[in-house]
Amino acid sequence: MGLKFSFEDGRKAQSQGLFNEAEHVIPGGISANIKYFSPHPIVMEKAAGSKLYDVDGEEYIDYSLCYGALITGHGHKRIISAANQYMESIGTTIFGTPHKLEITMAQKLIDLYPSIDMVRYTNSGLEATLFAIRLAVAYTGKNKIGKFEGHYHGGYDEVLVSVNPNEQEAGESDNPIAIPESKGIPEDKLSQTIVLPFNDLDATERILRTHANELAAVILEPIQGGFIPAEPPFLEGLRKLTNELNILLIFDEVKTGFRVDLGGAQSIYNITPDLTALGKVLGGGFPVGAIGGRKDIMMLSSPNKESDVFSVDGKSSHKNDVVFHSGTYNGHPIVLSAGLETIHLLEEEGVMKQLFNKTNSLRRQLEALYASYNIPMQTIGMGSIFNIVLSLDTIRNYRDMWRADNKLREAIDRELLDLGVFLKPLNRYSMSTSHDDMDIKQTINAHETAIKRLL
C-alpha cells in the first residue's frame, strides 16, 4: 500500500506558497493547531453551499463544514440576508448593551432544551464549558472536575487533559491517567482534573465515589467526538450517581447541539443535565457559545447590583457574592440574528429529517462500497455527524479507536483531498442541508478511486 501524499503534482502550489508565507508571520502557519495537517493545510478562497474552492481553483465537497458549525452549508442566502438586514436595521454592528435578540434566543433555547431554564452567551464553545465549570465550583463549593478520556471541551488547562493520550502513557482502561495535551499546563491545574473511562459505569462509579468530596462537576460529550454514543444505561447511571454525590452534570453539546436533534443529545437520551454548553451551529457560522441550565445554578452569575469587579469605589463585589461572567462581545446581535435564522431554517417541516436521511444514505453507500472491497469498515454516528472506522469491532470509547486501521483511513483521507473531498484527515463527517445526491455520488466515486489507488 502506497502511503504517498505530498501534493507533489503542483496542483496545490498556490496553497503551498501561501502556507509558506504564513509560516513566517503565524506560528506553524495556522491560527488553530487542530487545523494543521501535513504536508500543509489547504488555503481556501471561496465557498458556496456544500463546496469549498481553494486558491489553486480546485473544488471540494466539504464534510468538515468548519468542524460542524455550518449545518446549512456555506453562505446560505437566508442566513446571510438575515444578518445583513439585521445589521442595517439596527444601524450598528454591536450595541454593547442588552438588546431584544438576547431574549428571543434565550427563549428559543429554553423551548428546545428542557434542561435549560436560563441562558448566558459567550463567544466560543470553550468559554461556555469554562463558565459552566466555574458555576459548578461555586455551586458545590468543591474544586475538582471529572472529565472523560477522549472528550474535548476546548483548549484550557483543566480540560486539555487526556483528549488524545497515547497507549503507552494512558494507564489502565478502568483507571486512566491524566495526561496533559499541551506544554504550559501547571501541575496544580492538572491535579484538579480526574479522568474517567467513557461507557464504563462501574469504573466511573468507583472513581466518582473515591473523589466525591472534591468533585464539583462531571463534564462530558454525550456523544463522544459527535460520533461515539454514550450507552443509555451509562448515561442514566451517571445522572443518578452525580445526583447522589452532589456533583453537577455538565453536557457539552457544542458539537451535538442541533446536529443530532434540535434539542441536542439530551432530548434523544431523555436525560436532564444540570448545565449545558452550546456553540457551533448556534452561531450560523459566526463565533458563539452559550451556557444554559437550572435556574438556581445560573442565577449565581446574576450581578451584585451594588457593585462590580471594575468599580473604582473600593466596593467591588466580594468573591462570595457572585460568579463573574463577562465578555465584550457576549450576546452579539449579528451573531444571534444569524443563529436564530439557522434555527428557524432547521425547524421547518422535514428539514432535519431530510438531513438525517441524506446522512444515512451516504453512510449506507460508503459501508456497501468498503464491503465490496473486503475492507472491514463501519460508520458510527448519530443525526448529521458520523465517522468512518476501519474496524468491525464494537467502538464504545476512545481506546477502542486504537484498534481500527487508522493508517489506511488517513491514507484514504489524503487521497480524498486530491479527489475533491474535503475533510481534515481522520476527522468526522458533518453533513449540511446543502449537500445533495450529486455530492453523495461524487463522494462515493472519490472513495472508490482512493481505495483503488491504495490497494
Q: What is the dihedral of CA 209, 205, 166, 397, to 10 degrees?
A: -160
Q: What is the closest distance, in whole angstroms, from the C-beta atom of residue 68 to ligand PLP in the complex?
A: 7
Q: 264-283: which residues touch ligand PLP (CB under 6 A)? A: 279
Choose between 242 and 256: whose C-beta lies nearer to ligand PLP. Answer: 256
- Are the CB atoms for 187 and 218 separated by under 8 Å? no
Our CB check for ligand PLP shows the closer of 252 and 413 to be 252
Residue 398 annotated to the active site: no
| Catalytic one of 54, 62, 252, 274 | 252
Q: Least Å distance between CB 13 and ligand PLP? A: 30
Q: Binding ligand PLP by CB under 6 A: which of 12, 142, 153, 396? A: 153
Q: Does 125 interact with ligand PLP (rule: CB under 6 A)? A: yes
Rounded Cα distance, 247 and 241, in Å: 8
Per the listing, cell 428557524 goes with 344
- Yes or no: say if 79 and 345 are a contact pair by the CB < 8 Å rule: yes
Active site residue 252: yes
Q: Give me 302's grid cell.
A: 446574576
* Binds ligand PLP (CB under 6 A): choice among 15, 115, 129, 199: 129
DSSP β-bridge partners for residue 88: none
Task: Pick the stretch among 149-157, 181-189, 192-200, 380-388 that binds ligand PLP (CB under 6 A).
Answer: 149-157
From the CB of 15, what's the least distance to ligand PLP, in Å? 23
Asked if 182 and 171 count as a contact pair (C-beta separation under 8 A), the reply is no
How many C-beta neighbours within 10 Å does residue 405 have?
Answer: 15
**x/- site string to ligand PLP, residues 286 to 315, per CB under 6 A?**
---x--------------------------
Query: Can you tell me which of 221, 400, 413, 418 binds ligand PLP, judged by CB under 6 A?
Result: 221
Q: Which of 15, 72, 115, 124 binds ligand PLP (CB under 6 A)?
A: 124
**Judged by CB under 6 A, which stretch of 40-48, 136-144, 148-156, 239-247 contacts ligand PLP?**
148-156
Sequence-distant (≥ 6) Cβ neighbours of residue 134 within 8 angstroms:
323, 324, 325
Query: Considering the complex, what minimum distance in angstroms separates the CB of residue 439 from ligand PLP?
Result: 23
Select 280 or 447, whichever has its Cβ closest to ligand PLP. 280
CA distance 141 to 293: 18
Catalytic residue among 139, 152, 269, 370: 152
Binding marks (x or -) toward ligand PLP, 370..409, rule CB under 6 A? ----------------------------------------
Quick one: CA dihedral 74, 342, 257, 281, positive or negative?
A: positive
Measured from the CB atom, is 154 or 381 closer to ligand PLP?
154
**Site of grid cell 483511513:** 409
Quick one: which of 200, 252, 341, 413 contacts ligand PLP (CB under 6 A)? 252
Among 37, 113, 152, 258, binds ligand PLP (CB under 6 A): 152
**Minimum CB–partner distance for residue 213 and ligand PLP (Å):** 27
Give the Cα separation of 288 and 337 in Å (integer): 12
User: What type of residue sits at position 291?
Assistant: I
Judged by CB, which is closer to ligand PLP: 255, or 325? 255
- For helices 333-347 and 100-112, angle between their N-to-C axes, nearest 10 degrees: 40
Q: Is the dihedral of CA 374, 405, 2, 440 positive or negative?
A: positive
Q: How many residues of this chain interact with ligand PLP, rule: CB under 6 A?
A: 14
Active-site annotation holder among 12, 51, 255, 280: 280
- Could you say which residues in the range 28-87 bind ligand PLP, by CB under 6 A? 67
Largest Cα span, the chain = 74
What sign does the CA torsion over 337, 338, 341, 343 have? negative
Out of 51, 74, 255, 396, the only residue in the binding site for ligand PLP (CB under 6 A) is 255
What phi and psi, each to the nearest 5 degrees, are found at residue 414? Answer: -70, -40
Helices (H), 308-350: 333-347
Q: How far apart are CA 437 and CA 441, in angstroms?
A: 6
Could you tell me how many residues make up the chain? 455
Beta bridge partners of 389: 378
Indicate which residues carry an active-site annotation: 152, 252, 280
Site residues (vs ligand PLP, CB under 6 A): 67, 124-126, 129, 152-154, 221, 252, 254-255, 279, 289
